[in-house]
Amino acid sequence: MSNIDQPILISFKLCPFVQRSVITLLHKNVDYTIEYINLSKKPDWFLNISPLGKVPLLRVGDEVLFESAVINEYLDEIYGKSLLPKDPLNKAKHRAWIEFSSSLNNAQHQLTQARREQTFRQIQLDLAKKLSTLEQQVDAHGFFAGKAFSLVDSAFAPFLMRSQILADETGEDSLEDFKKLSKWRDNILTLDEVKNSVVEDFEDLYIEAFYERNGYLVDLAN
């Protein structure tokens, strides 16, 4: 494939949604380019091609795709063996859980922003309810659906990675009471495509970002 046809991902360094696509590309050994922008000062060229003004975007030649789940399904269809089931019903179920993963990313982000303990604990409780539902769906073999990596695994990996960082930094582990989810996280975080899906100083940048928000998490970490 020529250089001009290589997919180009546009993101910022802490975006969990573009990380999904990076994981998929790395898993499938696809050459790609990634460009980072500053979300606090979005360049005009980005605003001109982003219908929602959000990342990630995927540039394919002169075409632009937006929305991370759509981008990841496109990559999955174009490159190598599909990471979704062939059966239409099972495929739809996987897509539904991919959508569910976005709610976990959002709740996790809210945790890092909450300033009052009461707010933090309420978000934590709502997150635990979602995790309890997910615990019933995850296979016990280390991946979402058995012993093989799927597009659902790439969708949840950013949440799982950040949950481990937060647990290490604050002592508050959102997966503490969920054995299958904890096993899933342990397995996912050993994969090269997950470890290499973020910038080298990602952990420092992520911790620095929630310290800058000066929320309740900072009190737990101190």
pLDDT value at residue 3:
45
pTM for this entry: 0.94
CB neighbours of 1 closer than 8 A, spacing ≥ 6?
Answer: 31
Does residue 195 contact residue 152 with C-beta atoms inside 8 Å?
A: no
Q: What is the pLDDT of residues 38-61, one digit of tens each?
A: 988 999 999 999 999 889 999 999
CB neighbours of 182 closer than 8 A, spacing ≥ 6?
Answer: 175, 176
Percent of the chain's residues with pLDDT above 70: 98
pLDDT value at residue 4:
42
pLDDT value at residue 43:
93
188 exposure class (CB count in 10 Å sphere: 0-12, 13-18, 19+): buried
pLDDT value at residue 29:
95
Radius of gyration of the CA atoms of the chain, in A = 18
pLDDT value at residue 124:
95
Percent of the chain's residues with pLDDT above 90: 89
Distance CA 108, CA 110 (A): 5
pLDDT value at residue 222:
77
Residue 193's pLDDT band (boundaries 50, 70, 90)?
very high
Residue keyed to tokens 């597009």: 151
Kindly tell me if the per-residue pLDDT of 2 is higher than 50: no
Q: What is the pLDDT of residues 161-190, one digit of tens each?
A: 999 999 999 998 999 999 999 999 999 999
Report the chain's mean pLDDT, rounded to a whole number: 94
Q: What is the pLDDT of residues 138-168, one digit of tens each?
A: 999 999 998 999 999 999 999 999 999 999 9
pLDDT value at residue 113:
93
Domains of the chain from N-terminus onward: 3-78 (3.40.30.10), 88-221 (1.20.1050.10)
pLDDT value at residue 1:
40
User: How confident is the model over 199-209, as a mean pLDDT?
Assistant: 95
Secondary structure string (H, E, C) spanning the chain:
CCHHHCCEEEECCCCHHHHHHHHHHHHCCCCCEEEECCHHHCCHHHHHHCCCCCCCEEEECCEEEECHHHHHHHHHHHCCCCCCCCCHHHHHHHHHHHHHHHHHHHHHHHHHHCCCHHHHHHHHHHHHHHHHHHHCCCCCCCECCECCCCHHHHHHHHHHHHHHHHHHHHCCCCCCCCHHHHHHHHHHCCCHHHHCCCCCCHHHHHHHHHHHHCCHHHHHHC
Kindly tell me if the per-residue pLDDT of 67 is higher than 90: yes
